[in-house]
Amino acid sequence: MRRVVFNQKGGVGKSTIACNLAAIGAARGRRTLLVDLDPQANASRYLLGPALDQQKKTLAHFFDDILAFKLFPDKPDAYIVSTPFPNLSVMPSDPRLEELQIKLESRYKMYKLREALDSFKAFDDIFIDTPPAMNFYTRSALIAADTCLIPFDCDDFSRRALYTLMDNVREIQADHNRALRVEGIVVNHYQARANLPLRLVEELRQEGLPVLDAFLSASIKIRESHAQARPMVYLDPKHKLSREFEALYNLLNR
């Protein structure tokens, strides 16, 4: 299964959700890969910690090789890096992805990621983290994925962005990947006692949008998880947020 975690709005928890779901699958024995297409490299930093700075093969090198038309290019799995967590690997990001984007778009290389992931037979699951924009990397991810998860922060700006996002996903489905399926909207930073989140979630459901039943609470613990480069299942598996990530994973894989 290949899942892309995507929202054009920043700060909604894409990297956090992708990494924690990937870590849960890996902890359960699933051979799991996280592909980090965001030049900010937050997901890569989350899973690798300081070791990210020592990586000599990143996704920027992968796309560099594509643009260079090497006679004997490295195989795509040469860009995969093991994390400290069993069964969990990452294709790390690199800030240079930003400067490569225009060249990749002009040469229409959007299918290269899908070709690379098609060659990865060793993994049970692949999670793809994306930048907060509808750009070359996001389109590549949506073309390469089986399903799309959409994080939703409980505010009106996030709600307005959802409609454009859904239109963009439908366009990718129509033009590039008919098999792509929206798996659902993941409500993040949820506060059950606040009126606004309750109202927004109910209105989204009334509009027929696929809001998933597993919500993720707002918690300072996730910042500790980021700082220590340890997904919640490893940092504090009994924490409320860890259980919520587990519930989301179970819902997606039932």
| CATH number of the domain enclosing 86 | 3.40.50.300
Which residues constitute the domain of residue 18? Answer: 2-6+8-252
Q: What angle do CA 34, 39, 42 make, to 5 degrees?
A: 55
pTM, rounded to two decimals:
0.95
Q: Tell me what pLDDT residue 72 has.
A: 59
- Is the Cβ–Cβ distance between 62 and 116 less than 8 Å? yes
C-alpha 15/C-alpha 201 separation (Å) is 22
Token pair for residue 79? 């860009």
Whole-Å CA distances, 220 to 189, 209, 227, 239: 10, 29, 11, 11
pLDDT digits (tens, 9 = 90+) for 90-109: 999 999 999 999 999 988 89
Phi-psi region of 228 (alpha: psi -120 to 50; beta: other; left: phi over 0): alpha
C-alpha 2/C-alpha 34 separation (Å) is 10
Q: Say which range, 116-130, 191-205, 220-234, 237-251, has the weakest mean pLDDT.
A: 191-205
Answer yes or no: is pLDDT of 172 > 80. Answer: yes
- Is the Cβ–Cβ distance between 202 and 174 less than 8 Å? no
Residues constituting the chain: 254
Per the structure, the count of domains in the chain is 1
